[in-house]
Structure 1
């Protein structure tokens, strides 16, 4: 079959043996100019973000990393390039600091108890809202989520009233059953559990919303099939619902774990790290070192915490990823 060509075009052989139009001289039309214009337009559009990212994110991060290998202190702010390099001395000093070790233990204690407890409470509340509460569900969602967006100062006022040693709500209730409650926030034994309880109450609402979305995304036919096979409610939840919630559990555990590893507001507002450093955290101790002007030491502590967060997040992805 003869194919007509436009004026100025030539025929070239296609792989199937047919003749197809080609540009004069046997060359295909070039699109390089159009691609170059598109690339230039893309760079123009992303240039503001790149500039802001380099100036306010990448630059400070790299600067703080370099600072962690120097002996920079507050007095060196006027001459930041006159500081001396100390290698890994700041990291060694931080890891051998007894207060930093105590802060690391407190942070681990807070995370190991707080993260699972928060996820369990959030999942339980999500299941109740999804299966049990049908009326006023929106009201319960708002009520559970309200502490998440409430100021830490307001929360501190509430919990100080609840945990006050003499006239606090909790000790008053315990007194009704003959139990003499302790001074919760001034006790080395009970101060950290008190902060964990406050953190769980404050943060489970966000995880609950995510769990609720995950539960509502599971088809009803899955549970119906399990029910037909004779599985009870707990068996259906354990063997059908939980495996399907694995991506949701991974997301909530990672985000909650990262937040709890950096916990700062609770001890800063409620206990100031006391009593006797029993509630001081790594973030709070790093903040104190910045306040003391030990910039090199403080940045090394911050990067130690960063490495720990990265390692724990990697482990969570390995354990909770979909199989």
Structure 2
């Protein structure tokens, strides 16, 4: 006659579980404290401030959702929102496409690959402010390198600071120079994780170079594309330093984005409550996009 199995209490089966949990929380504690002090507390403070009417001096006056109601009829807010959306729609796909194309080239037997990798990654080591200052040297309409070359070639100079479209283009070009290297690096890491036997099998099936890229490379770097799409969109929503240094949001608000508008509102006109409301709207839009992309991405289960 067999002896019935005896189920031990959970604590008896894993006597070290409490100690393991305590050790885990102990290791997490410094990061959680920093996250709470430098992220959560300022976020709560900004949310409270967005419900107040302020003038930069003294305590604010609680006005509820009045600041958010003001946004609906604020033409400059909608202009900045449109500029932010257009900037995101242009920079994100271009930087990702250029990054993937360069990564494919550098992953092949291209001569001088190490040199080109270093050159493309170098902008990552430069701050956004320094990048924008270099952009000023290149695109200044009075003394910039580009306009000097155009005049030397007998072509008309481009009004990079006084023309709205030209100013927007200059911001996009400088941002691409700064962001393509990061995208290339992530894609290059993803490409190096693809086994050569996959491409050999494609060749045996008669796939051309473009077909191999379209049906093998692009799907295989899906997790990298998912990560880069989220990161590039978040960066584009929060772009500030390049726009602030390069154009200051001008001319005539042609390059004003949500963060520069919030900065001007909070530190120039001293209406911190309204600026906080702009920031909260930007935060909600960013979270909504990230959640939507996470739910709709077919490659999300491969990320981790």
Q: TM-score range by the shorter chain?
A: 0.7 to 0.9
Q: Is the contact made by 1:69 and 1:86 (CA closer than 8 Å) also made in structure 2?
A: yes
Contact 1:264–1:283 at 8 Å: present in 2 too? yes
Distance of 1:84 and 1:70 partners within structure 2:
5
Aligned to 1:58: 40
Per the alignment, residue 107 of structure 1 pairs with 84
| 1:215-251 per-position Cα deviation (integer Å, ceiling 9, x unaligned) | 1111111111111111110011101111111111111
Residue aligning to 2:126 = 150
| Match of residue 273, structure 2, among 278, 285, 296 | 296
**Contact kept in structure 1, 2:133 and 2:246, CA below 8 Å:** no
The 1:28–1:118 alpha-carbon spacing in structure 2 relative to 1, beyond 3 Å, is closer
Residues 76, 34 of structure 1: alpha-carbon distance in 2 compared, 3 angstrom cutoff: same
Q: 1:234 to 1:35 in 2, by over 3 A?
A: closer
TM-score, structure 2 as length reference: 0.87
Contact 2:129 2:242 in 1 (8 A): no
1:180 aligns with 2:170: no
| Residues in 1 aligned to 2:261 and 2:159: alpha-carbon distance in whole angstroms | 24
CA displacement, residues 291-311 of structure 1 (integer Å, 9 cap, x when unaligned): 133221111100100111122
Give the 5 Å matches for 1:1-323.
13-15=3-5, 31=12, 35-36=17-18, 39-40=21-22, 42-77=24-59, 83-133=60-110, 135-175=111-151, 178-291=154-267, 292-322=269-299
Per-residue deviation, 1:132: 4.2
Q: Which runs of 5+ in 1 are unaligned?
A: 2-11, 78-82
Larger relative CO (CA 8 A, sep 6+): 1 or 2? 2
Deviation of 1:43 after TM superposition, in Å, equals: 4.7
Structure 2 Cα separation of the partners of residues 65 and 85 of structure 1: 12
In the alignment, is the contact (CA less than 8 A) between 2:139 and 2:147 conserved in 1?
yes
Q: Is the 8 A contact 2:223 2:299 kept in 1?
A: yes
Contact kept, 8 Å, 1:159 with 1:198, in 2: the verdict is: yes
CA contact (8 A) 2:81 2:257 kept: yes
**Superposed displacement of residue 28, structure 1:** 7.2
RMSD after superposition: 2.7
Instruction: Give the CA deviation at 1:95.
Output: 3.1
Secondary structure, counterpart of 1:122 in structure 2: helix
Counterpart CA distance in 2 for 1:131 and 1:28 is: 58
> Which deviates more from structure 2 when the two are superposed, residues 116-125 or residues 312-321?
312-321
**CA shift digits 1:125-179 (9 cap, x unpaired):** 111101142x432221111011121133433343223223355332344346543
Post-superposition Cα deviations, 1:277-318, rounded to whole Å, max 9, x if no partner, equal 111110011112221332211111001001111222233334
Unaligned runs of at least 5 residues, structure 2? none
